[in-house]
Chain A
Amino acid sequence: MLGERANPVHWDWLVLLEMFVAGVAGGAYVAAVILEVSGRGRSPAARTAHLLAFPLMALATLLLIVDLARPERFWHMAVMNERFLPMLKPWSPMSLGTWLVILFTLFAFVSFVDALIARRLFTIGGWRYDRTLHGTPLGLAWSLVGGLLGLAVGIYSGVLLTVGNFPGWGQTWMIPAVYVSTAMITGVAAVVLIQALVGPTDADVVSLADANVWLIAWWLVNVVVFLLTLVGGGAAIFLRGVPLIAILVAIVLAGIVPLVLYALRPISLKGNLVLSAVLVLVGGFLMRYGIVMGPQLH
Chain B
Amino acid sequence: MAEPMGFFTDTTLCIGCKACEVACKEWNQLPAINGGQNTLSGNSYDNTRRLDGINWRHVKFIEQFDANDPNRTGGRWLLMSDVCKHCVQAGCLEVCPTGAIIRTQFDTVVIQSDVCNGCRYCISACPFDVIGINEANNTAMKCTLCYDRMLGGLTPACAQACPTASIQFGPLHQLRARAEQRVQQLRQRGESRAYLYGVPGDGYTDRIGGLNAFFLLVDRPQVYGLPERPELPSRNSLPGWLLGWGSGILAALGGLLAFRQRRMAAVEEAVAVPARGREAAPPQEE
Q: Is A265 an interface residue (CB 8 A)?
A: no
Interface: A249 (CB within 8 A): no
- The CA-CA distance from A158 to B247 in the complex, in Å, is 12
A70-B117, A81-B100, A155-B241 given. 6 additional CB < 8 A pairs? A7-B50, A10-B120, A70-B118, A164-B91, A211-B258, A215-B255
Q: Is residue A179 contacting chain B, with contact meaning CB distance below 8 A? A: yes
Q: Among B100, B138, B236, B245, which residue has the most Cβ atoms of chain A within 10 A?
A: B236
A203 touches B132 (CB 8 A): no
Complex Cα distance, B51 from A69, in Å, reads 19
**B182 near A: Cβ within 8 Å?**
no
B117: A residues at CB distance < 8 A:
68-71, 73-74, 76-77
B22-30, B121-129, B159-167, B211-219: which lies at the interface: B121-129
CB-CB under 8 A from A174, the residues of chain B are: 243
A222 within 8 A of partner (CB): yes
Chain A residues numbered 204-230 whose CB sits less than 8 Å from any CB in chain B: 204, 206-208, 210-215, 218-219, 222
Distance between Cα atoms of A252 and B86 in the complex (Å): 46
The answer to the question of B252 belonging to the interface, with a C-beta cut-off of 8 Å to chain A, is: yes
Task: Choose among B95, B244, B259, B267 the residue that contacts A210 (Cβ–Cβ < 8 A).
Answer: B259
Contact for B240 among A9, A159, A204, CB less than 8 A? A159
Q: Once the chains are docked, how many angstroms separate the CA of A93 from the CA of B139?
A: 20
Which of A1, A8, A91, A161 contacts B229 (CB under 8 A)? Answer: A1
Picked from B95, B133, B244, the residue with its CB within 8 Å of the CB of A177 is: B244
- Report if A169 contacts B (CB, 8 A): yes
Tell yes or no: B131 within 8 A of A by CB.
yes
The 3 closest A-B pairs by CB, nearest first: A69-B118, A176-B244, A155-B244
Find chain A residues with CB under 8 A from B150 CB: none
- Name the contact of A184 in the complex, choosing from B131, B248, B262, B266 (C-beta under 8 A): B248
CB pair A91–B120 under 8 Å, yes or no, is no
